[in-house]
Structures are given as structure tokens and as C-alpha cells.
Amino acid sequence: MPDYDLIIRNGTVIDGSGAPARKADVAVRGGRIAAVTENLPGTATEERDATGLLVTPGFVDVHTHYDGQATWDERLWPSSRLGATTVVMGNCGVGFAPCRPEDRDTLISLMEGVEDIPGTALAEGLQWNWESFPDYLDALELKSRDIDIAALFPHGPLRVYAMGERAVNREPATDEDIARMRELLAEGLCAGAMGLATSRTMIHRTSYGDFIPTYQAADSELKQLGEALPAAPGTLFQMVSDFEDAESEFDIVHEIARRTGHKGTFTYLDNSERPGFWDEQAKRLEKARDEGLDIRAQVLSRPLGMIMGFSASLNPFSARPGYKALAGLDHDRRMAELRKSEVKDRILREDNENPHVFIAGVAHRFDKMFPFEEPLDYMPDPENAVSARARRENRSPAEWVYDWLLRDNGHSLIYIPAANFTDAIPDILRHPLTVSALGDGGAHVGSICDASASTYLLTHWVREEAALSLEEGIRMLTRQPAELYSLLDRGLLAEGMKADINIIDFDALNLHLPRIVHDLPAGGRRFLQDADGFVATLVAGREIYRNGEATEALPGALVRGARPDPRPAAPQP
């Protein structure tokens, strides 16, 4: 009888701890890592030769929005095809539970507006075989899927369930409302929610353009809800904020952590219009650490980049009357109309009317728009901006980008690095109180495709720029986020750990141009992105992808709450 289910031999093991790379064999038995050692004796049911390849833990992505997709889809693309083996959803306070039948459209509008997921896809895809948050987790558990999922309790649905229309109108919560929300939150945490998530940013709107129910919810409401979070391993308070009053906003996370002892985490994006802001936030984080608190900033490993085009959700002309008049046409007919000189001239003369918040900020910033083509450049040179290219051709930038987007029958794209466009990213990621995150897998499906940021961290900052070591980069994608959520049974290649593994051809690792597909329910469109170099991805020792192609294995599970470190005498949270 074989000693193991699988042995991966002769690979370069990057174990996720930050320790130096080493040549070793990795053995798997019963979904767990049984041994990591050089020249491992014994036999296995299956052996894989990983000579010349990296063997790493599976990636742990703690900021996704698969709340809807996970209820209908077995494959959590694009994340699972890009090395993720565990994802956390429910971020930013949006989700679909708890929910009364009469509030379903409200939550769909909330998710459609905040996370750019087609409402028609949500309306058709969601089965609504739940009402409470525990019911929702039970429904998730019934679905087979490729990778593991965990969920935060979203503040938006919680507020709507407790307050009804008053929450939608963003009225203050009464003492009775807060008591009801605390009761529901405690119920969800007991069922396995990872914590509470909220949003306080004006960018997040409903599909009707209204502010979301949690926007500028009273500090006292959040702090009282935070007090309902138990000081238990893995319980977090997650927040996204504009940080206009940075001290006051940070105080919300700080006070919740101080009163309860559990962890806090918030979104940080570098903004060139606020020089020195990272230094301010870092000092706040370090002061909290010195007080014995655990608060981390979530950082994207590349610019937050919107993708626009005639085939995408948005483009610089989306809200111009002449373009909106064609919105109901199928793609080919719309492209035919857009090629007509009289249609083009009309649209170029117009301006946007009531534009989406993303369009409002960038529609005329041609110095911030870049043609998006292979080889992909997420940190482009200003000389390649639309404004610079138009100037060299003695054309108006608007006409230049209009003609660019018509190429390839309207499938050409532009890229707009809207924030985090800085060479300081590696230094920020290296700070001990940050965690690599914010890929937003499952969200902004027609305008952003940042789930591949994990791959970019390795290709750009590790391989091309040598700004991070390979060992640092893998740790940032594996053990570090796993520790943040106290998922201590993964993110590390060590005996007893969950056998979530990537086998990577590091030299071949390469991202391809995002592409629009129409594979959501009701034919909804989204961006997917492929990569070369992922030779195999395994979850619980079972291969789910081989060279980018899905196998039949669907070993993914719902993770309810923290997971202890299975190693003998390992420190626990």
C-alpha cells in the first residue's frame, strides 16, 4: 500500500513562512501535508516531478466579492484560475444576507451599484433559499466548488433587515435598531461569519446613484456593533473609508479593537493628491500595535486600475446622449453605428450627463488613460498616455481614444490607473502592519480585473523589479493573509497543514489581457484574465487546475470561523 496519496518531487519549495527557498519533496495524505523534506523515501498513489518549478502554498485572498457567484457557480473565476485556494467575501458591507423577500431588489441594487455586478445576472442567478445569515451559510455549504470560501457579515443587509426603508434612507439607527442588529450579528458569528464589514466611502453607490445604507452611519452605531464581536480568534472588523477625517475614521477601527481585543482591517490606497498620507496611517497603525492592538491596512500590489472600452461596462463616452441612444443595440450593430462619421461627430461634441462616479472622475483625464495591450503594463510611462499619443499625431485626445476603442470590432481597451500609482508599493507591502489584498475578485466585473494582482506581485515586484524577494512575495500572498484571519491551518507548507498548493513555472509566469465573456446568468458580461505559468493548483491535495484548465475535482469547502494551527505546540491566536 502506498505511503502517501501524492508526492511532489524535486521542486523548489517556498513554504510561505519567509524562510529561504529549498529543494524538497512535498508529500500529501488525506488532504494534509504529511512531509516536506529532501529525498523523501516512500511511495505514493501519484507522483509529480516539479524539477525547475516552484512549490508554494495556495494563495489566500481576503478581499473578494463572490457573495452572489458562490451561490450559483462551481468555479470562482478569475481568482481560482490565478492560484487562489481560499477567498474571503462579504467585504465592504455588501452581500445578500440577511434578507427578507421584499428587500431582495434593494440588495441587488446595492451590489450592482457598489460592485458593478449586473443586476440581471444577480436576479437570475440568486436562488434566495435563505433569509437569515446562518441560512445563507448553510446554502453556501450545499454548493460544490473549486476552492474554499469564508464570509464576513455585511453591514448593509444587516441594517436593511433591522431597519427596513429607514436604512435605505440612511436614517440614524435607534437604540432598538442597534440592539436588533447586535442580536443578528451575534447569530451570524455563531454560525461562522468571520466578522463584520462596512463601507463609509462616497464612491460606493446603489445602481440608482444613491448613497448606500451604511455611508456615514454614525460612529456610535459602528462602535456598538463592534462591541458585539467576540474577542475570539479570527474575528475581524473590516472597513473601507474615504478617510476625509482620517483621525476620526481610524478611531472607529481603533476603538472597536480596543474595547473587544479582536482585529481590525481597512483599505489603504495611495493617493498622489494626499502626499504623506501613508506615513500618517503607518504611525496610527504602529501606535495601535504598541497598545497591544492588531490593526492592518489592506494594500493592492499595483495601481487600482479601471478598464474601459465599448465592450466593457464603461467608457469615456458612456453617459453622452449620442452613445446612450445606442445602448440597447447588440454589440455588432452598436459598433456599426459608432463607425458612422455623423454619429462619431455628434458624440465627440457632447458631454456626459449624470455620469457614473467612475466616469465623472476620469472622462476628460486623457493624461491618465493608457491603451491597454500586451505586454501588459500596469505602471505605464506618461509618454504612452492617450493625451501624449494624440499630441504626437496632432489629434484631439477624445477623437484618438474613440478611434482606439473601435479597433478590433470594439474590443480594444484603455487602462486608467486611478489610485495607488506609485513605486512605493513594495515598501508599503513590506510594512509589518499591511497585508496584500484588494483584488476584489467577483466584483467590478465589467470595469476592473484586479484579482490578478497576486500574480502581478510576483511577476513585476519580485521578478522584474527585484523590489521584493521571492520568499517575501509568496509569504505576502499566503501565510500573512491567512494569519490575519486566523486561518492557521493553511498558507504554509508544513506537516499537518491543509494541502493547498500551487506548482508554478516562475520564468513562464505571465498575465494576458483581460477579456470580456458573457457567462454570467442572463448572459451577463464580465472580465476574465488568464495567466501562463500556473502548472497546477491543488485544494486539500486534489488538483483543481492543470496548466490553466479545470479538472473535475471540486474539493472547496465553506470555512466557518478561525482554524487552529494543526502543528504540535504551535502558537495559537
Of 421, 432, 427, the C-alpha closest to 382 is: 421
Q: Is the peptide bond before 564 cis (omega within 30 degrees of 0)?
A: no
Give the 3-state secondary structure of residue 162.
helix
Q: Helix, strand, coil % (nearest 5) of the chain?
A: 35, 20, 45
Supply the DSSP symbol for 463.
I
CA distances from 388 to 272, 332, 383 (A): 20, 30, 6
By the 10 Å C-beta count (0-12 exposed, 13-18 middle, 19+ buried), 382 is classed as exposed
Q: How far is CA 372 from the centre of its chain?
A: 21
* Residues 27 and 6: beta-carbon distance below 8 Å: yes
Could you give all domains of the chain from N- to C-terminal order, each with its CATH number?
Answer: 4-57+494-550 (2.30.40.10), 60-302+420-484 (3.20.20.140), 306-418 (no CATH)
* Residues 511 and 529: beta-carbon distance below 8 Å: yes
Q: How far apart are CA 85 and CA 554, in angstroms?
A: 11
Cell numbers representing residue 451 in the block: 484579482
pLDDT tens by residue, the chain, 573 residues: 899 999 999 999 999 999 999 999 999 999 999 999 999 999 999 999 999 999 999 999 999 999 999 999 999 999 999 999 999 999 999 999 999 999 999 888 878 876 678 888 999 999 999 999 999 999 999 999 999 999 999 999 999 999 998 888 878 889 899 999 999 999 999 999 999 999 875 444 444 455 545 555 667 888 888 888 876 667 899 999 888 889 988 999 999 999 888 899 999 999 878 889 999 999 999 999 999 999 999 999 999 889 999 999 889 999 999 999 998 899 999 999 999 999 999 999 998 888 777 777 777 889 999 999 999 999 999 999 999 999 999 999 999 999 999 999 999 999 999 889 999 999 999 999 999 999 999 988 888 999 999 999 999 999 999 999 999 999 999 999 999 999 999 999 999 999 999 999 999 999 999 999 999 999 999 999 999 999 999 999 999 999 999 999 999 999 999 999 998 766 655
Q: How far apart are CA 437 and CA 238, in angstroms?
A: 12
Give the 3-state secondary structure of residue 559.
coil
First to last CA, the chain: 38
For residue 562, what pLDDT is reported?
93
For residue 206, what pLDDT is reported?
46
Q: How far is CA 501 from the centre of its chain?
A: 20
Beta bridge partners, 501, equal 57, 538
Give the 3-state secondary structure of residue 527.
strand
For residue 431, what pLDDT is reported?
97
